[in-house]
Chains A and B, each alone.
Chain A
Amino acid sequence: MNNKIRCMIVALLATLVLNTATLRAQYPVKKTIQDARRKVVKVYGAGGLGGLEAYQSGFLVSPEGHIATAWSYVLDVDPVVILDDGRRFEAEVVGFEPQLELAVLKIEAGDLPYFAIREVPPTQAGQPVLAISNLFNIATGREPASVMQGYVAGVAELDARSGVFKSAYQGEVLILDLVANNPGAAGGALVTRAGELVGMLGKELRDARSGAWLNYALPATTLRPRLLAIVSGEAIVEPPKTELLARDKSHNFETLGLLMVPNVLDQTPAYVDAVVPKSPADAAGLRPDDLILLVGKVRIENQDRLLEQLRSIDRRDPVPIVLQRGSEILSLRLVR
């Protein structure tokens, strides 16, 4: 290649690089970040002992100072809120939604920048997002919160009943592919590159099955009706709690006529050892050596989990079971 052409190519490449660089400068994300950071606040409250951090994050949801944040021990005392410009306010808790682990604080201020609580299209895997929070309390005083970028990894059910996540919240969450849930991040905002609020960062949570730390946010679509209700001053109703039924009201191995293999391991698979003749299990066609995989939609990892699930079903109701027999998967209903 002669030198002249080489120079031209280098020059052309340089222009391309310069072009992209100048374009980068006008990247709308920059404005998104500027605006969104002004709406994220730092919340300080109880804690500070035994490894519990006394801080978390929140974001403004009304111009007159309503702040959405995570419901946690930090709010056991009246919290202090610090805005991105360093202004400090005593805040009071004006509402909470235990089921969503959502709390709303109120500070006495006006004309504040805020995230409008409006309908957003459903978020899906691969959506680029920005997570804005005061993780690790890095931002102090007048410093705005920290911004991280990543993608929505997926949408999944947090179902405490299936024992997957030990969390009060049950429902859909956005799983994130960035390490967003660190101490202090709970209550932070998750926004699109266009600045649309799509979620609130959750508390630190481990996946109860694998023990892996989870990075997730509560979707704005779930928070929206409750936030609107609290901001407009509606009363809060405690949700009913699902619990095990009384022993004489619920199912167990005897009511169904199941004899299981001895439960000797801490993870004994739910193998059927024998079936009592003329019992519901017999009538449904269960056989020795069947491996019970699911009760309803709940995965049965071991015999203890099976008993726990049966204990939450009323004796008068049928028990839907999915099992493995050799290389077949069968669905059966056990009816008393």
Chain B
Amino acid sequence: MRQNNQSPRPGRRFITPFFAGFGLAVAVAASLSPGVANAQDAEYAAIQQAIQQTAGAVVQIETIGASASQGELTLGAPISGTRIDDQGHVLTSLWGLEETPASILIVEADGSRQPAELVARDFSRELVLLKTKPSGSANHVALQRSEKVRVGQWAIAVGRGIAPETPSVSIGIVSATGRMYGRAVQIDARISPSFYGGPVVDIEGEMIGISVPMKPEAGSAGEKSDWYDSGIAFVVSAEAIASRIDQMKAGKDIRAGKLGIVPASKMPFSDDRTLSAVLALSPAKRAGIQADDELLAIDGEAVRWNADIKQLLGPRDAGEVLKIKVLRDEKELEFEVELAADIPAFRPRVLGVLADPQGESLEITHIFDDSAAAKAKLQIGDTIQAIDGNKIDDIDRARLLVMTHPPGEDLDLTVLRDGKPLDVRCDLQSTPDTVVAELPELKDPIGEEAWEIVPRSLPDVSNTSRLLKPKGDARPSLGLLVLLARPGTEKLEPLAEAWRSEAAEHQIAVLVIGAAETDRWKPAESDVIVRLIQQAQKAINVEPQQVVVAGYGAGSEMSMMVAMRNRELIRGAVAAAGSRPGGFALSENDPASPLQFLVVGGDEMPIWGRMIANVGFPVLQAPSSEKEPLADDPKIQDTVGRWIRSLDRI
């Protein structure tokens, strides 16, 4: 095989895309001639050519004084950067630059360093624009492409994060476009953090875009670098960058645009385009969009399925103005909406009633003391028919409309009492910060002796678990308390046994899960826990609003991480006041999958408790003794039981 011994020399841009195309043509022609080795040579030469053309524009980015962990990885290691003009502008990844470090340095191929200032960040696309002294050299990439990116074409990632003096490359193909809700091109080249911020080019040396770690939604749970080196990597397209670069050069940060609507359906391919709620103080609310509107189009693009909503809104920035077309009372209406960077945190509102989730109608079965419902003189037996003029016969819809009701505005209820409709006006409350004291009697309680503890496991992991559940085949509706054992706990049985009377008292199944290792819970075990919960949901009839995770020792921190990262599944987490949670991105409470916390042990609200309360999560506290509150304090156990049962209130 012919060796190309000339190492790439930065700064030589002696080949135009036209010639690169010519090179590719030669490669294709060669592959059809008998000299097959030449095809490989041509391919190799073309790749080398593309690297040489690009490498001069790639620099190393060093940060001083930034260090934090992101799941398995640590921030603060050098990454790559891409020069985009001759005025000293360098694009890089937001990885490690979410907070401004003490110093940002640009390291050139010759090892020289110069300080850079941070000009602007694009929080939606995970990019940062830096500025340093003009380089004087013409080494930069062009953000224009001569043709659209095609799936299947070569994708060559170039970086300098490993060592500044030699460029590193990772080679693959374009896997998809319009990924991550329309914000990224996907490539199959293995991209490790050292490549973040570097360019990805095609075989002709034209920019495809910039490598970044990305999650489906900015600010959603989980680590954006989880997929490093996996053959799934993301690139912000040159086109998306070019259309925003002037804004960034002017020092304006870019954030994902928020509309503030809650689609009724949770299924991506549901053709139900109805909105079940519109967030208070949101752009959608201000524009006049209402719950029950059917979303027809976003900026002229038809919405066919629920999934289209995220796909169409995903690439939009705060400040962009969109036209939203809806169907209301069989009339098409169009609204102009300016997307916002932030919508004030959603804080769930409550009415304070229970209704039978399996019931035919929304008949009120219990009214909590001192609740908005009690003050409005609602009665047990009233059947809710409409909320704010929207007809309601589904408990989840009712809960969502109440939860997202604007603070300071009264809620208008229509109930059926003694066969007659009655209008009631209620002044809603925020979620109370104490656990409800009184609960209604259970309809068909199952005695303690009729509960059994059965082993549960998954075929491919070493974690074991025990499930405390009612015996027999009857499938009563149950809450589910997931308990993560202290790492190194040898016997899980006693932990489940300790909850027997509480389980019977409140009809809550208990799933105790042991850690795989004796000294810690690993973040990756989050998936195992989710799978064990899903497995339990198949075996017993779990009320979706009553799935709660808690833990002992390190299991307490783990339970918070699992809850934060899996909100579509989990509604509550119990955490010890002394625990130090981490491993998740703190993002706002989401009305589509709301989450609450109960802090046990200690008398003081921990700092992290206040932090999560600030972004809209209800955080309740149950003060307790010095004992292990979840293991040997019956009072706390009872509080946890009552809390779980109160989670499906409206």
- Indicate whether B527 reaches chain A with its CB closer than 8 angstroms: no
| Residues of chain B with a CB closer than 8 A to A267's CB | 65-67, 76
> Of A126, A179, A211, A266, which contacts B44 at CB under 8 A?
A126
Stretch at the interface among A2-10, A64-72, A149-157: A149-157
Contact B51 A126 (CB under 8 A): yes
Q: How far is the CB of B119 from chain A (nearest CB, A)?
A: 14
Taken together as a complex, chains A and B put the C-alpha atoms of A215 and B171 apart, in Å, by 14
Using known A-B contacts A126-B48, A210-B73, A210-B74, determine if residue A175 contacts B67 with beta carbons closer than 8 Å: no
Contact B166 A266 (CB under 8 A): no
Taken together as a complex, chains A and B put the C-alpha atoms of A178 and B75 apart, in Å, by 23
Contact B190 A121 (CB under 8 A): no
Using known A-B contacts A27-B36, A324-B103, determine if residue A121 contacts B3 with beta carbons closer than 8 Å: yes
| Residues of chain A with a CB closer than 8 A to B75's CB | 210
- Indicate whether A207 reaches chain B with its CB closer than 8 angstroms: yes
| Residues of chain B with a CB closer than 8 A to A56's CB | none
- Indicate whether A327 reaches chain B with its CB closer than 8 angstroms: yes
Contact B169 A153 (CB under 8 A): yes
- Indicate whether B32 reaches chain A with its CB closer than 8 angstroms: yes
Contact B67 A266 (CB under 8 A): yes
Give the residues from 160 to 194 in chain B that come closer than 8 angstroms, CB to CB, to chain A: 162-163, 166-172, 189-190, 192-194
| Residues of chain B with a CB closer than 8 A to A105's CB | none
Which residue of B has the minimal Cβ distance to A195? Answer: B1
- Indicate whether B62 reaches chain A with its CB closer than 8 angstroms: yes
Q: How far is the CB of B225 from chain A (nearest CB, A)?
A: 8
| Residues of chain B with a CB closer than 8 A to A150's CB | 171, 190
Which residue, B64, B103, B113, has most C-beta atoms of chain A within 10 A?
B64
| Residues of chain A with a CB closer than 8 A to B115's CB | 324, 326-329
Taken together as a complex, chains A and B put the C-alpha atoms of A19 and B67 apart, in Å, by 55
Contact A178 B190 (CB under 8 A): yes
- Indicate whether B5 reaches chain A with its CB closer than 8 angstroms: yes
Contact B62 A177 (CB under 8 A): no
- Indicate whether A79 reaches chain B with its CB closer than 8 angstroms: no
Chain A 123-153 against B: per-residue CB contact (8 Å), 1 yes, 0 no?
0111110000000000000000000001111
Which residue, A127, A153, A300, has most C-beta atoms of chain B within 10 A?
A153
| Residues of chain B with a CB closer than 8 A to A210's CB | 73-77, 192-194
Interface size grouping (class) on chain B: 35 or more
Report how many A-B pairs have Cβ atoms within 8 Å.
148
Chain A 195-229 against B: per-residue CB contact (8 Å), 1 yes, 0 no?
00000000000010111110100000000000000
Contact B74 A211 (CB under 8 A): yes
Q: How far is the CB of A20 from chain B (nearest CB, A)?
A: 6
Give the residues from 250 to 281 in chain A that come closer than 8 angstroms, CB to CB, to chain B: 266-269, 271
- Indicate whether A319 reaches chain B with its CB closer than 8 angstroms: no
| Residues of chain A with a CB closer than 8 A to B189's CB | 177
Contact A291 B64 (CB under 8 A): yes
Chain B 55-74 against A: per-residue CB contact (8 Å), 1 yes, 0 no?
00000001011110100111
| Residues of chain B with a CB closer than 8 A to A155's CB | 163, 166
Contact A301 B73 (CB under 8 A): no
> Of B64, B69, B169, B229, which contacts A179 at CB under 8 A?
B229
Contact A291 B73 (CB under 8 A): no
- Indicate whether B602 reaches chain A with its CB closer than 8 angstroms: no
Contact A209 B74 (CB under 8 A): yes
Contact A293 B5 (CB under 8 A): no
Contact A23 B36 (CB under 8 A): yes
Using known A-B contacts A212-B192, A291-B103, A329-B113, determine if residue A177 contacts B31 with beta carbons closer than 8 Å: no
Contact B229 A192 (CB under 8 A): no
- Indicate whether B7 reaches chain A with its CB closer than 8 angstroms: yes
Q: How far is the CB of B486 from chain A (nearest CB, A)?
A: 20
Which residue of B has the minimal Cβ distance to A214? Answer: B192
Taken together as a complex, chains A and B put the C-alpha atoms of A212 and B193 apart, in Å, by 7
Contact A269 B102 (CB under 8 A): yes
Using known A-B contacts A128-B44, A209-B77, A267-B76, determine if residue A19 contacts B65 with beta carbons closer than 8 Å: no
Contact A211 B37 (CB under 8 A): no
- Indicate whether B234 reaches chain A with its CB closer than 8 angstroms: no
| Residues of chain A with a CB closer than 8 A to B113's CB | 293, 322, 324, 329
Using known A-B contacts A122-B5, A154-B162, A154-B167, determine if residue A211 contacts B40 with beta carbons closer than 8 Å: no
| Residues of chain B with a CB closer than 8 A to A269's CB | 64-65, 102-103
Taken together as a complex, chains A and B put the C-alpha atoms of A211 and B75 apart, in Å, by 9
| Residues of chain A with a CB closer than 8 A to B192's CB | 207, 210, 212-213
Chain B 102-119 against A: per-residue CB contact (8 Å), 1 yes, 0 no?
110100000011110100
Contact B169 A324 (CB under 8 A): no
Contact A209 B78 (CB under 8 A): yes
Contact B40 A193 (CB under 8 A): yes
Contact A121 B5 (CB under 8 A): yes
Taken together as a complex, chains A and B put the C-alpha atoms of A172 and B75 apart, in Å, by 24
Which residue of A has the minimal Cβ distance to B95? Answer: A210
> Of B32, B48, B66, which contacts A16 at CB under 8 A?
B32
Chain A 282-312 against B: per-residue CB contact (8 Å), 1 yes, 0 no?
0000000001010000011110000000000
Q: How far is the CB of B213 from chain A (nearest CB, A)?
A: 11
- Indicate whether B47 reaches chain A with its CB closer than 8 angstroms: yes
> Of B37, B159, B171, B193, which contacts A126 at CB under 8 A?
B171
Which residue, A27, A207, A271, has most C-beta atoms of chain B within 10 A?
A207
- Indicate whether A26 reaches chain B with its CB closer than 8 angstroms: yes
Contact B103 A153 (CB under 8 A): no
- Indicate whether B8 reaches chain A with its CB closer than 8 angstroms: yes
- Indicate whether B228 reaches chain A with its CB closer than 8 angstroms: yes
Q: How far is the CB of A75 from chain B (nearest CB, A)?
A: 26
- Indicate whether A194 reaches chain B with its CB closer than 8 angstroms: yes
Contact B103 A28 (CB under 8 A): no
| 27 examples of A-B residue contacts, CB within 8 angstroms | A23-B32, A28-B36, A124-B4, A126-B47, A126-B51, A126-B156, A126-B169, A151-B169, A151-B171, A152-B169, A154-B166, A154-B169, A155-B163, A156-B162, A156-B166, A157-B163, A175-B162, A177-B171, A192-B1, A209-B74, A209-B76, A266-B67, A269-B65, A291-B102, A300-B64, A324-B113, A327-B115
Chain B interface residues toward A at CB < 8 A? 1, 3-5, 7-8, 31-32, 34, 36-37, 39-40, 44, 47-48, 51, 62, 64-67, 69, 72-78, 102-103, 105, 112-115, 117, 156, 159, 162-163, 166-172, 189-190, 192-194, 228-231
* 9 closest Cβ pairs, A-B complex: A154-B168, A209-B77, A210-B77, A269-B65, A177-B170, A267-B67, A156-B163, A269-B102, A211-B73
Name 12 extra pairs, CB < 8 A, besides A156-B163, A324-B113: A27-B36, A28-B37, A121-B5, A126-B48, A151-B47, A154-B159, A209-B78, A210-B77, A212-B193, A215-B190, A267-B76, A329-B114
